[in-house]
Structure 1
């Protein structure tokens, strides 16, 4: 495949990062960068937006469930995302794909399967475990995912903080913007999600991002 491609391994387990690096750099001959938390992942993509693919662990310490996927998709749309996770619940896999991941690799698969998966994704295909059966998705939830995709990166950040219970003043401080700008973002979020208030928006976001709910 060659070093024309650059991959970022985002995982907080050193042994697994090492194994994945072996596959990507030695077998597939990719240029590889590494991060052990979401903040480092985000910083690496800001520094090098030409990274082709991120192998993203869902359970890094500083990210909440699936929110990392949608944030990366919103801010770095040209970077492919492959979720590499110990989670093997079909509903979680379905959520990752619905949120825009190009692949889902369970950590239990062989190194050869990882090689095949990354190759397939870089070739423009989607990869999920061969024995995986996509569960029926409720049309309402599918529509909600589409609504999330219409949010801008700033609106997503505001929604994430609303879901955590932060007030406008706190959000303004965290994002270093004015309260009036926060209110504008919040109003846009409510309109795009088709909800009446912040509480409903926060509940919807937490449900869609959760690793526990279907």
Structure 2
């Protein structure tokens, strides 16, 4: 049975080109989205989606937050980062935070097909010309934080993102339509799992690590 995928990118011509590159491997059953919110709606509507091709700078996706949101909410889905950014440090960070592949937009179409084949076989794919650099950029700090993020429930992850944006418990409770005491419990759990003493530390670390720089 063909693998169901979604191409999430705000540029229609690139979505078309990417679909042409992967249709041979995945078949015709490929959905499209132009924003991160559209991507989340598509995933809710199509629980059989197995692969997401995610543009790092599409509307609603700030840095690596889209990647970590998908990994937290849909841990069984393969996420392929697609980006015009070609920094080996960014590639390393994306892989550390759960991407199955990192495909620069300059990648020739046949190579993209090779990347899809590799990830479907359970491998991690990065461009051959930067593989050695990516391997050398081994950040234990990123890996440690990524493993802690994996411990958060989807609700706790939402609370962490809102904490990082500077929202108070009362504001988070309003946004999520729950009681403030529930948010206090979530905040406590987040700080415990991430091993921080206060919400400021957690928010600053999250912002720093999710940043593309």
TM-score (norm 1): 0.94
Residues 55 and 81, structure 2, Cα contact 8 Å, conserved in 1: yes
Match of 2:128 in 1: 130
Shift of residue 138, structure 1, vs aligned partner: 3.4
Q: Distance in 2 between matches of 1:127 and 1:140?
A: 22
Candidates 49, 54, 57, aligned match of 1:56: 54
Task: Map 1:1-214; keep pairs closer than 5 Å.
Answer: 4-25=2-23, 28-132=26-130, 133-134=133-134, 135-212=136-213
Q: 1:141 Cα deviation (Å)?
A: 3.1
> Structure 1 residues 27, 150: CA separation in 2 closer, same or farther (over 3 Å shift)?
closer
Q: What is the Cα-based RMSD across aligned positions, in Å?
A: 1.3
Flag the structure with higher helix content: 2
Change (3 A) 1:177 1:61: same
Tell me the distance in 2 between the aligned counterparts of 1:6 and 1:30: 9
Aligned pair count reads 210
Q: Which runs of 5+ in 1 are unaligned?
A: none
Deviations 1:128-157 (A, max 9, x none): 000112143332332122111111111110
Contact 1:7 1:30 in 2 (8 A): no
- Checking the alignment, whether the CA contact within 8 Å between 1:50 and 1:79 is kept in structure 2 is no
Q: For 1:145 and 1:179, how far apart are their aligned partners in 2?
A: 27
Q: TM-score under structure 2 normalisation?
A: 0.94
